[in-house]
Amino acid sequence: MPVSNLANKPGAVTAAARADRAAPIEGRAASGRPSNPVSDAAAFLRGFLARPMEVASVVPSSRFLEQQVVRAADLSRAACVVELGPGTGGSTRALLRAMKPQARLLAIELNPGFCDRLQGLVRDPRLTVQAGSANALSGHLAQWQLPAPDVVVSGIPFSTIPTETAQRIAAEIAACLAPGGRFVAYQFRPQVAQYLRPHLGEPDTRAEWRNLPPMTVFRWVKPGR
Ligand X SMILES: C[S@@+](CC[C@H](N)C(=O)[O-])C[C@H]1O[C@@H](n2cnc3c(N)ncnc32)[C@H](O)[C@@H]1O
9 CB contacts (<8 Å, ≥6 apart)? Answer: 143, 144
In this structure, what are the phi and psi dihedrals at residue 150, rounded to the nearest 5 degrees?
Answer: -75, -30
Q: Which is nearer to ligand X, 47 or 125 (CB)?
A: 47
Task: State how far the Cα of 69 lies from the Cα of 67, in Å rounded to an integer.
Answer: 5
13 binds ligand X (CB under 6 A): no
CB under 8 Å, gap of 24 or more: what pairs does 93-99 form?
Answer: 93/29, 93/30, 93/35, 93/122, 94/63, 94/66, 94/67, 94/69, 94/70, 95/70, 95/153, 96/29, 96/30, 96/122, 96/124, 96/126, 96/127, 97/29, 97/30, 97/70, 98/70, 98/73, 99/75, 99/126
Instruction: Give yes or no for a contact between 21 and 64, defined as CB atoms under 8 angstroms apart.
Output: no
57 binds ligand X (CB under 6 A): yes
> Which residue in 122, 141, 161, 185 binds ligand X (CB under 6 A)?
161
87 binds ligand X (CB under 6 A): yes
Q: Which is nearer to ligand X, 1 or 142 (CB)?
A: 142
> Which residue in 14, 15, 19, 60 binds ligand X (CB under 6 A)?
60
Stretch that binds ligand X, among 4-12, 95-103, 108-116, 192-200 (CB under 6 A): 108-116
> Which residue in 31, 68, 128, 133 binds ligand X (CB under 6 A)?
133
111 binds ligand X (CB under 6 A): yes
> Which residue in 31, 80, 90, 185 binds ligand X (CB under 6 A)?
90
84 binds ligand X (CB under 6 A): yes
199, 137, 215, 207: which is closest to 172 by C-alpha?
Answer: 137
DSSP state of 214: -
68 CB contacts (<8 Å, ≥6 apart)? Answer: 186, 206, 208, 217
Q: Which is nearer to ligand X, 3 or 152 (CB)?
A: 152
156 binds ligand X (CB under 6 A): yes
CB of 169 to ligand X, least distance (A): 6
14 binds ligand X (CB under 6 A): no
Stretch that binds ligand X, among 14-22, 151-159, 198-206, 211-219 (CB under 6 A): 151-159
Q: Which is nearer to ligand X, 52 or 179 (CB)?
A: 52
Contacts with ligand X, residue ranges (CB under 6 A): 54-57, 60-61, 84-87, 90-91, 108-111, 114, 133-135, 155-157, 161, 165
